[in-house]
Amino acid sequence: MLSNTLSARPRLWLPLLLTLAIAACSKDETAAPATTGQPAATAEAAPPPPAVSAEVQAMNVDQLRDAATNALRENRIYAPGGNNAMEYYLALRDKLPTDPAVTSALTDLLPYTVIAAEQSIAREEFTEAQRLAAIIEKADAKAPSLPRLKQSIASSQQAVAQRALDTEARTKAAEETRVKDQQRLAQQAEQQKATEAAAALQLAQQQEAARQEAARQETARREAEQREAAARQATAQQAPAASAPAQAAASTGSNQLRPISTPAPRYPPEALRAGTAGEVLVEFTVGTDGSVTAARVVRATPARVFDREAVAAAKRWRFQPVSEPVTTRRTIGFNPGG
């Protein structure tokens, strides 16, 4: 009686089963729980889950049949693990290995489980893919798609692992490049600082050399001025001494010069405007009639500024007549404020 009941019910459910399976596939596993991708190392380390959970195996035939019916109605064909139609039918087949309805249900649901496994592999959800592969292998150990699925899982895991290694290598290379760039930038900054320091030192040295040259030139200028002033002072001191013998000689006899008229020289306009002062030592000869017959410049400070006016003034001078011509020297001064 029980066998008849089991064989009748699947025939009634089969149209509903196919309809629900097609709907589940078209919804792209929307009824399956969200499973996030796992790193390759985690997927490889975790053992594959069993095809049928222990809780499902512990259920009796009626519980399994009701659970399978509800799972199909709710589009839980192969997920979530421990609560899906494939596991319930696999457990039913273990308990009723000759039930054609159970076998037919597993045969109809198997292609959708294969599709779900392929999608899990594509999403790199290898734990879920291994669980579905275990379900497929338990449902049909000779399924044509099973070797391909296992190979795809293994190759995809290797690809993910290699990608992780490549990513790690790229990250390491990027970090090394970043460190090298930082070191290069630091070296460039140090070189820039050294260059700027060298330029600043060179500029300071040039400025110091220019300052020393300016100081040297200023010292040379002052020394030249001092020498020129000393020369003028020596000249001024020598003039009276040079004219003293002539004057003394003139005063010893009847040829002593006695001035009658010694008009001042005309001040050159240019020198007057410039405020230039100076002096001219003039040597001149007085004739017997007391007039100046000849005059020349012996020394002038500054040179060629007051020479002409000094000679012209000397030639205008008049002295008392003398017994014979007398040659003498006199210093004529020019002072704009005098």
CA-angle at 278, arms to 338 and 222, nearest 5°: 120
DSSP state of 80: S
For 202-225, the pLDDT digits (tens) are: 988 999 988 899 888 888 888 888
For 313-330, the pLDDT digits (tens) are: 999 999 999 999 999 999
CA-angle at 257, arms to 255 and 258, nearest 5°: 130
- Element (H or E) spanning 147, and its range? helix 145-252
For 243-273, the pLDDT digits (tens) are: 444 444 444 446 789 999 999 999 999 999 9
User: Would you call 111 helix, strand, or coil by DSSP?
Assistant: helix
pLDDT of residue 181: 85
Q: Provide the residue ranges of all domains of the chain, joining segments of one domain with +.
A: 2-143, 253-334
User: Given a cut of 80, is residue 39 above it in pLDDT?
Assistant: no
pLDDT of residue 255: 76
- Of the candidates 162, 186, 140, which has an alpha carbon nearest to the alpha carbon of residue 41? 162
pLDDT of residue 46: 61
Q: Give the end-to-end CA distance of the chain in Å, rounded to a whole number.
A: 162
Give the model's confidence band at 236: pLDDT under 50 very low, under 70 low, under 90 confident, else very high. low
CA distances from 41 to 129, 143, 160 (A): 15, 28, 9
User: Given a cut of 50, is residue 34 above it in pLDDT?
Assistant: no
User: Would you call 326 helix, strand, or coil by DSSP?
Assistant: strand
pLDDT of residue 23: 46
Read off the pTM: 0.46
pLDDT of residue 318: 97
Contact between residue 204 and residue 196 where contact means Cβ atoms under 8 Å apart: no
User: Given a cut of 80, is residue 67 above it in pLDDT?
Assistant: yes
Per CATH, the number for 253-334 is 3.30.2420.10
pLDDT above 70 covers what percent of the chain? 80
- d(CA 329, CA 2) in angstroms, rounded, equals 170
**pLDDT: is 181 or 130 the higher one?**
130
Give the model's confidence band at 238: pLDDT under 50 very low, under 70 low, under 90 confident, else very high. low
CA distances from 37 to 49, 146, 293, 311 (A): 16, 21, 133, 122
User: Given a cut of 80, is residue 121 above it in pLDDT?
Assistant: yes
pLDDT of residue 282: 97
The radius of gyration of the chain from alpha carbons, rounded to an integer in Å, stands at: 66
CA distances from 334 to 284, 329, 338 (A): 18, 16, 8
User: Given a cut of 90, is residue 135 above it in pLDDT?
Assistant: yes
Residues across the chain: 338
CB atoms inside a 10 Å sphere around CB 131: 26
Please enumerate in sequence order all residues whose Cβ is within 8 A of that of 75, keeping only pairs 6 or more positions apart, or say none: 20, 23, 24, 27, 30, 31
**pLDDT: is 307 or 22 the higher one?**
307
Q: Provide the token pair at 337.
A: 């404020």
User: Would you call 31 helix, strand, or coil by DSSP?
Assistant: coil
Bridge partners, 301 (sequence order): 279
Average pLDDT, the chain: 83
Mean pLDDT of the 151-161 span: 94
